[in-house]
Structure 1
Amino acid sequence: MPNLEDIRQAADGLHGRIHRTPMLESSALDEFFNAQLTLKAELFQKTGSFKVRGLLHKTLGLSPDERGRGVITVSAGNAAGALAWAARDAGVPATVVMAKTAVPAKIDAARAYGAQVELVDGDLIAAYESIRDERKLTGVHPFDDLDVITGHASLALELLADRPDLDTVLVPVGGGGLISGVALGIKLIKPAIRVIGIEPSGADVVSRSLEAGQPQKLPTAKSVADGLAAPVCGTHNFAIIQQYVDQVVRVSEDALIEATRLVMSRTKLALEPAAAAPFAALLEGKVELRGLTAAVISGGNLDVAKLKL
């Protein structure tokens, strides 16, 4: 498991390559929820999501042989764009496997960053493994990788540096990459701070894994928050979540939609539904509020084609 020095070294390596995203305040949201909130605006990160933290850190650490063979990942969208950008930054060829039903804007973004995009039907993981092995590419798991987790933990260092008075951190949960990194970074420095994960009820693989005591796989995972619809919980992620995360809660699709509209209306931030998960939990009363609460707005790659203006 990564230690604090590993996380600090990762943050140093990312410094100047990615954005130091701002902490934003919203009196309108504070009044609405009767809370003291601060928003970690990762929607302003390179490629529009937190994913670039871990995937760039992973790419920078590849051996010359791994770089030369090129990298490949599998993604609903944000990890695809992040690896494509990170690989281009590091001078490494990239391939990404995505579903044909992925958000078109996320497919276009991965291509625009220079990746070869393979669109497939059916089992994405099987397609990813087949292409990886056939072409002898270097596999980069989008979340179940200790280097990726360590890169994501750089976000925790920024949270603590900017707001050392935090009581609680609310984190969207998919396969577990972001929350495992954030929880690890937070708890190694300030273990008293609560770290709470929020996942869609229709893609609740982390909750099910915690209940079962081991990583689980869902037959299907579907949500309006496509960035959180991971069908599996990573093994490394599970171990960290089990040890360091205080609570993981489920939220409904209706709450995710309402929370997205609410935050966009009150703050003018164009967040994607996955990033609205913390606010969905507040809407449904799933989190006990006390003291300063940070909500990680994980990304802003929403499907603008579906907006009805």
Structure 2
Amino acid sequence: MHDVVAPTPLEYSRWLSDLVGGDVFLKCENLQRTGSFKLRGAYVRMARLSKQEKARGVVAASAGNHAQGVALAAQLLGIKSTVFMPHGAPLPKERATRAYGAEIRFVGTSIDDCLRAAREFEAETGAILIHPFDHPDIVAGQATAGLEIVEQCPQVRTVVVPTGGGGLVAGIASAMQRDGMPISVVGVQAKGAAAYPASLAAGEPIALDRMSTMADGIAVGLPGQVPFAAIQAYVDDVLTVGEDSLSKALLLVLERAKLVVEPAGAAAVAAVLDDPKRFKPPVVVVLSGGNIDPVLLMRVLRHGMAAAGRYLSLRVRIPDTPGGLATLLGRLADVEANIIEVLHERISETLDLDEVEVALQLETRGEEHRMRVLNSLSANGYTYTLN
């Protein structure tokens, strides 16, 4: 399969290794063809279709990564593909999917909405549904990433994997069942879309009532039966991470590893940052995808900087006197805050006649520096509110 799927690099991460207290490596599936691991499962599933099945075409449901995997696999295998995507799917993923020759139809706001539409299309047209995670061939295809990890890092003891429907973590965990080697596999979900913890506790897949996360690639409301069984058997734990952790992880991967990942792709890094001593080294952290809209990337980076204490947005009241603004800016310069933007507001019903309000966007060097800036403002008699 190497002529279709590129073996992705395993990169040593010094900064994560220092946090964990042992070797940590990044499995760079963001550098896979189509920008994520999804091509692995899609190609294996579609290559195993009969000639008659291939002639009927395929249909898929995806926010983007699985869509691209299915579209490219279909192009390589000469199969007609139709993909249902949720409204608001990232523009780069949509464009890439079209470029691989798929027909795109928009429906609903989640992968689950798209799956329902894809099943209806399957019933109406006879096209074969290529499920994003709930099929043995999909899980088998994703397992090739696990086989690569073992080949590239035979000493691995922990593998941390972003988890949505569960196909990738199920495949990797299945691939780790060899020679009795004690390899712990840990899945990671976004807190706002974490279906697995409750499902595992209940012993069966349980649907979420709602989801809210920037990590659209792992926003799946109902675990698949096939990966659920493998995860029950082989995965040691499924952790959750918050939005601040996701954005901080994305920022640090960009800064320290010089790699672009999407929020879902950074989920495993976020879990390690949240509790680095939990993971027994050597650790392999999977970067599952790198397809991110540049506009979203800018927003997430700003969020990540704020979460890391490196971006401060606030409003400060100052006296409406000559030199008042200059004095404030001087105080900020004294504590080495980098001023990104200043808005001087003189008219507001909440201001006294002798006051003006200044909206500030500041760059700081971390949480300690951020607190030093705020303490300096208070010490100099300024009243502020954080945005």
Q: How does 1:103-122 map to 2 (within 5 A)?
A: 103-121=90-108
Which of 285, 310, 328 lines up with 1:295 in the alignment?
A: 285
The structure showing larger relative contact order (alpha-carbon pairs under 8 Å, at least 6 residues apart) is 1
Q: How does 1:39-118 map to 2 (within 5 A)?
A: 39-118=26-105
Structure 1 residues not aligned, in runs of 5+: 1-13
In the TM superposition, residue 303 of structure 1 has moved relative to its aligned partner by 1.5
Mapped contact 1:72–1:94 kept (Cα < 8 A) = yes
CA distance in structure 1 between the aligned counterparts of 2:36 and 2:188, rounded to whole angstroms: 17
| Structure 2 SS opposite 1:39 | strand
In the TM superposition, residue 76 of structure 1 has moved relative to its aligned partner by 1.4
Q: Give the aligned partner of residue 14 of structure 2.
A: 27
Q: Give the aligned partner of residue 144 of structure 1.
A: 134
Deviates more, 1:200-209 or 1:32-41: 32-41
| Structure 2 SS opposite 1:153 | helix
CA distance in structure 2 between the aligned counterparts of 1:167 and 1:121, rounded to whole angstroms: 41
Provide Cα deviations, 1:110-156, integer angstroms capped at 9, x if missing partner: 11110000111262222111122112211111100000100110111
Q: Give the aligned partner of residue 214 of structure 1.
A: 204
Q: How does 1:261-280 map to 2 (within 5 A)?
A: 261-280=251-270
Distance verdict in 2 for CA 1:287–1:181, change over 3 Å: farther
In the TM superposition, residue 262 of structure 1 has moved relative to its aligned partner by 1.0
Q: Give the aligned partner of residue 10 of structure 1.
A: none
Mapped contact 1:143–1:177 kept (Cα < 8 A) = yes
In the TM superposition, residue 307 of structure 1 has moved relative to its aligned partner by 3.2
Mapped contact 1:24–1:41 kept (Cα < 8 A) = yes
Q: Give the aligned partner of residue 231 of structure 1.
A: 221
Q: Give 2:14's aligned amino acid.
A: S
Q: Give the aligned partner of residue 176 of structure 2.
A: 186
CA distance in structure 1 between the aligned counterparts of 2:181 and 2:222, rounded to whole angstroms: 27
In the TM superposition, residue 187 of structure 1 has moved relative to its aligned partner by 1.8
Mapped contact 2:20–2:281 kept (Cα < 8 A) = no
CA distance in structure 2 between the aligned counterparts of 1:287 and 1:247, rounded to whole angstroms: 15
Deviates more, 1:119-128 or 1:220-229: 119-128
CA distance in structure 1 between the aligned counterparts of 2:131 and 2:209, rounded to whole angstroms: 20
Which of 271, 275, 282 lines up with 1:281 in the alignment?
A: 271
Structure 2 residues not aligned, in runs of 5+: 302-387
TM-score (norm 1): 0.92
CA distance in structure 2 between the aligned counterparts of 1:304 and 1:220, rounded to whole angstroms: 26
| Structure 1 SS opposite 2:176 | helix
In the TM superposition, residue 41 of structure 1 has moved relative to its aligned partner by 0.6
CA distance in structure 2 between the aligned counterparts of 1:130 and 1:192, rounded to whole angstroms: 43
Deviates more, 1:145-154 or 1:186-195: 186-195
CA distance in structure 1 between the aligned counterparts of 2:159 and 2:149, rounded to whole angstroms: 9
CA distance in structure 2 between the aligned counterparts of 1:45 and 1:184, rounded to whole angstroms: 21
CA distance in structure 2 between the aligned counterparts of 1:127 and 1:286, rounded to whole angstroms: 41
In the TM superposition, residue 27 of structure 1 has moved relative to its aligned partner by 1.7
Mapped contact 1:200–1:223 kept (Cα < 8 A) = yes
Deviates more, 1:60-69 or 1:29-38: 29-38
CA distance in structure 2 between the aligned counterparts of 1:116 and 1:287, rounded to whole angstroms: 46
Deviates more, 1:266-275 or 1:285-294: 285-294
In the TM superposition, residue 33 of structure 1 has moved relative to its aligned partner by 4.5
CA RMSD of aligned residues (A): 1.5
Query: What percentage of aligned pairs have identical amino acids?
Result: 40
Which of 20, 23, 29 lines up with 1:36 in the alignment?
A: 23
Structure with bigger gyration radius = 2
In the TM superposition, residue 15 of structure 1 has moved relative to its aligned partner by 2.1
Mapped contact 1:281–1:287 kept (Cα < 8 A) = no
Q: Give the aligned partner of residue 243 of structure 2.
A: 253
Provide Cα deviations, 1:31-71, integer angstroms capped at 9, x if missing partner: 34544201111111110000000100111100111100000
CA distance in structure 1 between the aligned counterparts of 2:281 and 2:126, rounded to whole angstroms: 51
Provide Cα deviations, 1:235-293, integer angstroms capped at 9, x if missing partner: 01110000000111111111011111111111110011111111111222176132200
Q: Give 1:292's aligned amino acid.
A: P
In the TM superposition, residue 26 of structure 1 has moved relative to its aligned partner by 2.2
In the TM superposition, residue 100 of structure 1 has moved relative to its aligned partner by 1.2
